[in-house]
Amino acid sequence: MSLILIAALPFLGALLPGLMIRSGRTACAWATASVTLAALIGLLVHAPAVMRGEVIQYQLEWMPMLGLNVNFFLDGLGLLFAGLILGIGLLIIIYARFYLSRNDPMGQFYTYLLLFQGAMVGIVLSDNVLLMLIFWELTSLSSFLLIGYWKHLPEGRQGARMALAVTGMGGLALIGGMLILGNIVGSYDLTVILQNKDLIQASPLYLPALILILLGCFTKSAQFPFHFWLPHAMAAPTPVSAYLHSATMVKAGLFLMARLWPVLAGTPEWFYIVATTGLITMVLGAVIALFKDDLKALLAFSTVSHLGLITMLLGFGTPFAAVVAVFHIINHATFKAALFMSAGIVDHETHTRDIKRLGGLRHLMPVTFTIVMVAGLSMAGIPLFNGFLSKEMMLDVATEAPWNGNHWIVPALATLGALFSVAYSFRLIVHTFLGPKRDDYPAKPHDPGFGMWAPPALLAVLVVLIGIMPALMVGPLVATASGAVIGGELPYYSLKIWHGVNAALFMSIAAVAGGLVLLAMHRPLDAAWIRARRPEAKAIFDALMGTVTGAAKALTDGLHNGAMTRYASVFTLAVILAGSAAWFGGTAPAPVREVMAIGPVPLIGWILLIVATGCMAAFHRNRLLSLVLMGIVGLIVSVAFAYMSAPDLALTQISVEVVTIILLLLALNFLPKHTPVESSNARRFRDGTIAVLGGLAVGGLTLAMLLSDFSQESISAFHLANSKPGGGGTNVVNVILVDFRGFDTFGEIIVLGIAALVIFAMTESVLGSPVGAWLKQRPINPNEAGDRHPLMMVVATRVMMPIALMVGVFIFLRGHNEPGGGFIAGLIVAIAIVMQYMASGFDWAAARQRYPYHMIIALGVFAAALTGIGSWFAGRPFLTSNYGYFQIPPMGEFELATAMAFDVGVFLCVVGAVMLALESLSRFAHRAGDRPSPYPMDIDPSRDLPQEAKDA
**Across the strands, what pairs with 60?**
70
Do 270 and 407 fall into the same domain?
A: yes
Closest CA to 437 of 348, 359, 343: 359
**Across the strands, what pairs with 126?**
72
User: What is the distance between the alpha carbons of residues 658 and 608, in angstroms, rounded to a whole number?
Assistant: 19
Ordered alpha helix ranges (H), 814-898 = 822-840, 842-847, 853-870
Do 305 and 372 fall into the same domain?
A: yes
Return the pLDDT at 932: 41
Domain enclosing residue 884, as ranges: 731-952
User: What is the distance between the alpha carbons of residues 175 and 180, in angstroms, rounded to a whole number?
Assistant: 9
Return the pLDDT at 774: 66
Do 333 and 452 fall into the same domain?
A: yes
Last residue of a domain, one of 655, 678, 701: 678
Do 666 and 742 fall into the same domain?
A: no
Return the pLDDT at 937: 35
Do 626 and 767 fall into the same domain?
A: no
User: pLDDT for 808-867, tens place per residue?
Assistant: 888 888 888 888 888 889 889 988 888 888 888 777 777 787 788 889 999 999 998 888
What's the Cα-to-Cα distance from 822 to each of 672, 720, 815, 819, rounded to whole Å? Answer: 36, 21, 7, 11
Does residue 19 sit within a domain? Answer: no
Do 887 and 740 fall into the same domain?
A: yes
| Neighbouring C-beta atoms of residue 517, cutoff 10 Å | 13
Name the burial class of residue 146, with classes exposed (0-12), middle (13-18) and buried (19+) by CB atoms within 10 angstroms of its CB.
Answer: buried
| Neighbouring C-beta atoms of residue 793, cutoff 10 Å | 14
Last residue of a domain, one of 678, 704, 739: 678
Query: Does residue 819 have a cis bond before it (omega within 30 degrees)?
Result: no
CA atoms within 13 A on the CB side of 474: 30
Domain total in the chain? 3
End-to-end CA distance of the chain: 77
Do 755 and 870 fall into the same domain?
A: yes
Closest CA to 6 of 38, 33, 32, 39: 39
Does residue 514 sit within a domain? Answer: yes
Does residue 497 sit within a domain? Answer: yes
Does residue 435 sit within a domain? Answer: yes
Does residue 1 sit within a domain? Answer: no
How long a stretch of residues is the chain?
952
Please identify every stretch of the chain with a pLDDT value under 70, giving residue numbers as ranges. Answer: 66-67, 587-588, 710-714, 771-788, 888, 890-895, 924-952
**CB 623, CB 668: distance < 8 Å:** yes
Does residue 640 sit within a domain? Answer: yes
**CB 777, CB 808: distance < 8 Å:** no
Please give the distance of CA 189 from its chain centroid, rounded to a whole number: 20
Do 499 and 608 fall into the same domain?
A: no
**Across the strands, what pairs with 128?**
189
What's phi and psi for 188, nearest 5 deg? -105, 10
Do 396 and 481 fall into the same domain?
A: yes
Return the pLDDT at 952: 39
Return the pLDDT at 891: 57
Ordered alpha helix ranges (H), 583-680 = 600-618, 623-643, 647-668
Does residue 373 sit within a domain? Answer: yes
What's phi and psi for 69, nearest 5 deg? -125, 150
| Neighbouring C-beta atoms of residue 790, cutoff 10 Å | 12
Do 791 and 897 fall into the same domain?
A: yes
Do 670 and 736 fall into the same domain?
A: no
pTM listed for this prediction? 0.72
* Angle, alpha carbons 779-783-784 (nearest 5°): 75
**CB 934, CB 846: distance < 8 Å:** yes
Do 643 and 747 fall into the same domain?
A: no
CA atoms within 13 A on the CB side of 778: 12
Last residue of a domain, one of 643, 658, 678: 678
Q: Is 62 helix (H, G, I), strand (E, B) or coil?
A: strand
**CB 851, CB 911: distance < 8 Å:** no
**CB 898, CB 738: distance < 8 Å:** no
Return the pLDDT at 784: 52
Q: Are strands 883-888 and 68-74 parallel, antiparallel or unpaired?
A: unpaired
Closest CA to 856 of 766, 762, 758, 752: 752
Does residue 174 sit within a domain? Answer: no
Burial pattern 682-691, b for ≥16 Cβ within 10 A else e, equals eeeeebeebe
User: What is the distance between the alpha carbons of residues 889 and 894, in angstroms, rounded to a whole number?
Assistant: 10
What's phi and psi for 57, nearest 5 deg? -130, 150
